[in-house]
Amino acid sequence: MFGKTCTLKITFLGTGTSQGVPVIGSKHPVCLSEDAKDKRLRSSVLIEWDTYAYVIDCGPDFRQQMLRTGCEKIDGILFTHEHSDHVLGLDDIRPFYFKQGNISIYASKRVVKSLKQRFDYIFKTKNRYPGAPSVNIHNIKNKPFKLQNIKVLPVKGMHANLKVFGFRFDDFCYTTDIKTMSETEMEKIKGVKVLVVNALRVEPHYSHFNLEEALAFIAKIKPERAYLTHISHLLGFHAEVEKQLPENVFLAYDNLIISI
């Protein structure tokens, strides 16, 4: 069903958890680190192929992330779920909207409903504010859909009691904010070449994989390479944690670019 149809370029726009790293006011050693790889904006990726560019999630750092990549256009945004660290940058699609017109968004009905409540001025059809952006809504379910010339497969996970979507593009799969996933859903992504998965910290967490759980998940999926994201300062220093990982597992970091 899936295989390599084109070359994907993936830019990690952010690899941090909901507070980012450093955390405001924190004196934790990782928050005080001078290593650029220990400085993490909220989690998001930019996926590019041919002439197309799509973003998965646009959190509160979206504007900064777009500026530092030099990205000049996006063809759409896919949302994993509605939590603030994954959606609060939606207003910053305005420069793209002014250049391109309506921006396509892809999300479940539940997530779209939340976005309409939080950004009502974007979704209004009457008496719209002239400077507000506008979007084309694509409601997605747990079944494949097309983005241009690529088939995308949603992969359902549980973020505590909240359903979230990961997304498989050919042999690349991006998941985040997952605590559990059914065997049926895991079958969809077994054998992907590159897997991205959340690993919040060393200690267990009620709604995210910790490091041990993330590594166990990776061992089940068996990708050629795996990258850990949605990382908090409590996971430790990037350089130290990286040394402890299996040879095919890496800590992602902001601005990391990979190709597949």
Q: Is residue 1 part of a domain?
A: no
Q: Is residue 13 part of a domain?
A: yes
Q: What is the pLDDT of residue 6?
A: 87
Q: What is the pLDDT of residue 67?
A: 98
Q: Is residue 3 part of a domain?
A: no
Establish whether the linkage from the previous residue to 22 is cis, with ω within 30° of 0.
yes
Q: How many domains does the chain have?
A: 1
Three-class secondary structure assignment of 16-67: ECCCCECCCCCCCCCCCCCCHHHCECECEEEEEECCEEEEECCCCCHHHHHH
- Domain boundaries, position 104: 9-259
Alpha-carbon 196 to chain mean position: 9
Question: Distance between CA 203 and CA 109 in Å, rounded?
Answer: 33
- For 246, counting Cβ atoms within 10 Å of its Cβ (0-12 exposed, 13-18 middle, 19+ buried), the class is exposed
Residues of the chain with pLDDT under 70: 1-4
Q: What is the pLDDT of residue 4?
A: 64
Q: Is residue 103 part of a domain?
A: yes
User: For residue 18, what is the domain's CATH number?
Assistant: 3.60.15.10
Residue with tokens 């985040």: 176
Q: Is residue 2 part of a domain?
A: no
Q: Is residue 21 part of a domain?
A: yes
Q: Is residue 131 part of a domain?
A: yes
Q: Is residue 31 part of a domain?
A: yes
Question: Distance between CA 151 and CA 170 in Å, rounded?
Answer: 7
